[in-house]
């Protein structure tokens, strides 16, 4: 089963199901209560999915999947505006939330027994406006968090800001976001969107939406250095053919 989030304001009907049968795909009844889910993350161990609700006053919800039914486990504020990305800590005790609208990174506690969402325990929002303002004034008028991923050991969060052309690194200290550093600064106007760690443990990939490029980065102790850049689409970026997400298999193929 494939699940597709839809925006209510644009005619969406909640979370839609897409089923493969006989070599074709068909829509099946979904869950109308899961609204504006532009991103979700799955906890296979608990059978729980976490979804954002990308609205001006953002929310994050938890849903247990049981016997072809979605069971609500509650929802909380996302800690910012227009949440667009979630990641689950390796020990499944916290969510990192990237709020695109106001650029806030939020940390949300999860119930250690049920996996239900609890209140946001800390937030971070970069100071300033348009440090590296590029050619897209609307997208780079200030901070716009677009991705937040935990380090493999869960002790740090890397958060990508499309508006500021930066990757920030934060240490996770209990329930706090601490020791913020700039881990990488992309060229002005590149609009970095999605960070993906390579399975070799040495490299990472950074999808830059506004420049339509993928950057190969080499990991350092607290940051990254640029190794190589390649276009993410065959057409020039002016065509608006820009990437939104990266995935990679165990062999390292994108």
The pLDDT tens digits for 210-246 are 999 999 999 998 899 999 999 998 877 667 788 999 9
Question: Which has the higher per-residue pLDDT, 203 or 251?
Answer: 203
Q: What is the CA radius of gyration of the chain?
A: 18
User: Is residue 15 a contact partner of residue 27, using CB atoms and an 8 Å limit?
Assistant: no
Hey, what are 42's tokens?
A: 């799955």
Q: What angle do CA 215, 205, 219 make, to 5 degrees?
A: 100
pLDDT, residue 237, reads 65
Q: Is the pLDDT of residue 252 over 60?
A: yes
The pTM for the full model equals 0.93
Tell me whether residue 211 is in a domain. Answer: no
d(CA 3, CA 19): 9
Tell me whether residue 243 is in a domain. Answer: no
pLDDT, residue 134, reads 53
Count up the domains in the chain and report the number.
Answer: 1
Q: What is the mean pLDDT of residues 111-134?
A: 82
pLDDT, residue 32, reads 95
Task: Kindly report, residue by residue over 22-41, the tens digit of the pLDDT.
Answer: 889 998 888 999 999 999 99
User: Is residue 228 a contact partner of residue 217, using CB atoms and an 8 Å limit?
Assistant: no
Q: Which of 42-56, 143-157, 240-254 has the lowest mean pLDDT?
A: 240-254
Task: Kindly report, residue by residue over 187-200, the tens digit of the pLDDT.
Answer: 999 999 999 999 99
- Residue ranges making up the domain that contains 56: 1-105
pLDDT, residue 187, reads 93
Q: Which of 75-89, 95-109, 128-142, 234-248 has the lowest mean pLDDT?
A: 128-142
Tell me whether residue 156 is in a domain. Answer: no
pLDDT, residue 30, reads 87
- Beta strands (DSSP E) in 22-116 are 24-31, 40-43, 48-53, 59-66, 69-77, 83-88, 94-99, 105-110
Tell me whether residue 11 is in a domain. Answer: yes
pLDDT, residue 85, reads 98
Tell me whether residue 183 is in a domain. Answer: no
């Amino acid at each position: 089963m494939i699940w597709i989030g839809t925006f209510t304001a644009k005619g969406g009907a909640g979370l839609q199901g897409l089923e493969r049968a006989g070599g074709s795909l068909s829509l099946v009844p979904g869950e109308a209560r899961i609204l504006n889910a532009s991103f979700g993350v799955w906890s296979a161990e608990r059978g729980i999915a976490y979804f954002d609700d990308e609205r001006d006053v953002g929310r994050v919800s938890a849903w247990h999947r049981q016997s072809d039914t979605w069971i609500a486990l509650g929802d909380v504020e996302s800690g910012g505006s227009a949440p667009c990305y979630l990641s689950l800590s390796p020990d499944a005790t916290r969510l990192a939330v990237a709020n695109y609208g106001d650029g806030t990174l939020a940390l949300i506690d999860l119930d250690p027994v049920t996996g239900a969402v609890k209140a946001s325990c800390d937030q971070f929002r970069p100071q300033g406006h348009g440090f590296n303002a590029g050619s897209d004034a609307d997208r780079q008028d200030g901070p716009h968090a677009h991705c937040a991923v935990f380090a493999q050991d869960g002790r740090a969060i890397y958060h990508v800001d499309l508006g500021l052309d930066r990757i920030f690194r934060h240490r996770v200290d209990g329930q706090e976001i601490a020791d913020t550093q700039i881990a990488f600064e992309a060229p002005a106007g590149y609009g970095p969107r999605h960070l993906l760690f390579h399975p070799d443990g040495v490299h990472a990939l950074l999808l830059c939406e506004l420049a339509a490029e993928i950057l190969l980065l080499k990991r350092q102790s607290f940051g990254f250095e640029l190794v190589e850049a390649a276009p993410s689409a065959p057409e020039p970026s002016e065509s608006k053919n820009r990437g939104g997400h990266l995935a990679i298999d165990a062999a390292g193929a994108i």
